[in-house]
Amino acid sequence: MQVDQGARPQEEPAVADAPTGRWTVTRPVLQFALAGLVAVAIVGVATAVASRRVGQREATVDARTTTLVKAQTVVEPAVTDGLISAQPAAVRKIATVVQKSVLDRSLVRVKIWTRDGTIVYSDEPRLEGTRYQLGADELAALDRGVIEAEVSDLSRPENRFERDQGKLLEVYLPIRAPGGGRLLFEAYYRYDAVSASGNRIWRSFAPVSIGALIALELVQIPLAWSLARRLRHRQRERERLLRQAIDASDGERRRIASDLHDGVVQDLAGVAYQLAGSARREGLADHSSALLEQSASQVRESIKSLRSLLVDIYPPKLAEAGLPAAVTDLLGAVANRGITTSCDVEGLVDDLPAPVAALLYRVARESLRNVVSHAQGSRVDLTLSTNGRRATLDVVDDGVGFTADDAAARAAEGHLGLRGLRDLVEGAGGLLQVDSTPGEGTHVHMEVPIS
């Protein structure tokens, strides 16, 4: 489809306003609130883990202290030298003391060992007289006179009668017989008492820590709402100013194109007709007639170039001529510069909304202008297509390309180009990407919703 290049430039449709959904306040505030809730959850879990560990550590310390008190103040005074050799009277004396003053709801098992691993007393009679190998930690506690605590390994044979008790905390320390001999006193506590201590500490700290975070979140949400509204207002103001600048540029282009069309182009057309008529007058020398014909032909070519330039400066109305015709005229102007061009619009629907077509045209025009002004390439390929409810534009050249520093330098000089259009494309819910590699050319890719 071709456009009459002699048509008078008309007004181009304005770019559609940015959808308000892009800068709604609710969505970012909800995201902020959800992020705050996630933070509260993370802090809550971390506080729970830390509190339980502190509680378990404190409960372990309490178990160690309780064991030390019971072993040294209750059991040790009742120990006789006969207990080392498991004499029945000595064992019965310890059994009476343990059953009366040591065992309770949390302390469920007591064992007294000799150094060779023989259990001389236990509140579980089936263990008395059995012999097992003591661990390195237990021997170390027996030799150094220290108290140790650890989670009981219920898989060991000497602990087979405690397996139905669940997880247990094992505390052991040495006690002395009157003759100076040492025995290992071992007490087993229910671990749920240790866990309960951790839970108590967690419940004590949770209202303060979680409550403070929730209060902070509630205070920050109104601030986030206000900040989001201000950002939305600033964004709309920025888009409005950018739109005004582009519209002003379009108005100036339209005025220049109109002046050229009504002035210089018409004058040159009249000159071309006069030269052609003079070349056909009778009695004119052949060389003069040929010179006039050549001059008329050159003027007509100049008019053609000017009309192509007019289309480049300001296109015919896209709603009437159509986007394919408009971009074909743009490529025609590029081809006049000696650059090979190709245009693929087969995948483009025919009923694009006017604002979408105008936005696609603007990006295509700016991309091709950059190809002519900066790329120094020999070929440019333009593709327009639709994919579902999105229209896409690709402009690929084989020019010199540029780096990020080059783009920043041009922007500092005031050459905004595609960078200025990016906000409008994003404001319409679209995407504009410029990929360039020095020595390999540039690829401009644009996507915009059709709706």
pLDDT at 177 over 50: yes
Tokens representing 282? 């009778």
At residue 409 the predicted structure's pLDDT band, cuts being 50, 70 and 90, is: low
C-alpha span between 449 and 431 (Å, rounded): 9
At residue 16 the predicted structure's pLDDT band, cuts being 50, 70 and 90, is: very low
The label of the residue with tokens 């060389």 reads 287
- Residue 373: CB atoms within 10 A of its CB come to 10
pLDDT digits (tens, 9 = 90+) for 63-87: 888 899 999 999 999 999 999 999 9
Cβ proximity of 33 and 174 under 8 Å: no
Res 307: pLDDT: 66
- Over residues 169-187, mean pLDDT: 92
pLDDT digits (tens, 9 = 90+) for 282-319: 767 777 778 878 887 888 777 777 766 666 566 655 66
pLDDT at 1 over 90: no
- Over residues 212-228, mean pLDDT: 82
pLDDT at 168 over 60: yes
C-alpha span between 193 and 210 (Å, rounded): 25
C-alpha span between 29 and 226 (Å, rounded): 9
Q: Residue 285: helix, strand or coil by DSSP?
A: coil
Which residues are registered as beta bridge partners of 122? 111
At residue 91 the predicted structure's pLDDT band, cuts being 50, 70 and 90, is: very high
The radius of gyration computed from the CA coordinates of the chain, to the nearest angstrom, equals 46
16 phi and psi angles, rounded to 5 deg:
-65, 145
Mean pLDDT of the chain: 81
- Residue 290: CB atoms within 10 A of its CB come to 12
C-alpha span between 74 and 76 (Å, rounded): 6
Cβ proximity of 173 and 146 under 8 Å: yes
Res 124: pLDDT: 92
At residue 442 the predicted structure's pLDDT band, cuts being 50, 70 and 90, is: very high
Q: Which residues touch 15 (CB under 8 Å, ≥6 apart)?
A: 243, 246, 355, 358, 359, 362, 424, 428
Higher-confidence position of 259 and 352? 352
Q: What structural domains and CATH numbers belong to the chain?
A: 9-236 (3.30.450.20), 317-451 (3.30.565.10)
- Closest by Cα among 163, 181, 79 to 121: 79
Q: Residue 381: helix, strand or coil by DSSP?
A: strand
pTM higher than 0.75: no
Tokens representing 62? 């309490």
Cβ proximity of 176 and 218 under 8 Å: no
How much of the chain, in percent, has pLDDT values that exceed 90? Answer: 25
CA distances from 284 to 265, 278, 280, 287, 412 (A): 28, 9, 8, 8, 60
Res 9: pLDDT: 38
Element (H, E) at 31: helix 26-70
Res 29: pLDDT: 80
Tokens representing 109? 């098992």
Res 317: pLDDT: 56
Res 286: pLDDT: 72
Pairing of strands 340-347, 379-387: parallel
Tokens representing 26? 């609710």
pLDDT at 408 over 70: no
Tokens representing 298? 């050159």
Res 4: pLDDT: 36
C-alpha span between 61 and 57 (Å, rounded): 6
| 54 CA to centre of own chain | 35
Longest Cα separation, the chain: 158
pLDDT at 432 over 70: yes
Angle at Cα 34 formed by Cα 31 and Cα 237, nearest 5°? 20
Res 407: pLDDT: 67
C-alpha span between 131 and 151 (Å, rounded): 21
